[in-house]
Amino acid sequence: MFYHRYMEIKPPPSFDAVVTAPFGAIGIHVSNDYVTGIRLLSEQQRAFCSANPFVQHVARQVGQYLQDAASPLDFPYLLQGTLFQKRVWQVMSTIPLGQAWTYGDLAERVKSGPRAVANACGANHLTLVIPCHRIVAKGGLGGFMQGDVKGLEIKRWLLQHERADGYH
């Protein structure tokens, strides 16, 4: 890692696979036959996949999801987070395809506050599997990808792709 006087500059992440998407690309991290990260990328990247059969299986499922939102993402994954974050992610995973909840809805279900829930959403490294894009603000889309403008476009695309209520 390199350091500048005022900021830390991190090297770009290396992925085991990159799947092209209508909004850019999806980077996939795998460790020991577990998915450890699915990252939405706002910039187009060249698709590639390692020779590992498990990685190929995961990339194929992600590609199928991009064609048909009802395609299952049923591969083993590793949740890495605090107990609170894991509880939020577990409840978030129960949001049915085609629906969106507000931060307040999710906070009520986990007996916490919307801000804490939003922080847990932001720490989610398994986007699509743990559908943080299905969490919206009371009056609109809410945040996504640390407030990146392109991130909000991706969130809108995902909700429309899944035909979430109110986001057609």
Tokens of 86: 């894991």
Q: What share of the chain is helix, strand, coil (3-state, %, to 5)?
A: 35, 20, 40
List residues with catalytic annotation.
132
Candidates 96, 76, 93; CA nearest to 131 is 93
Candidates 60, 34, 130; CA nearest to 91 is 130
Burial of residue 13 (CB within 10 Å: 0-12, 13-18, 19+) is exposed
3-state secondary structure 52-83: CHHHHHHHHHHHHHHHCCCCCCCCCECCCCCH
Identify the three-state secondary structure at position 103.
helix
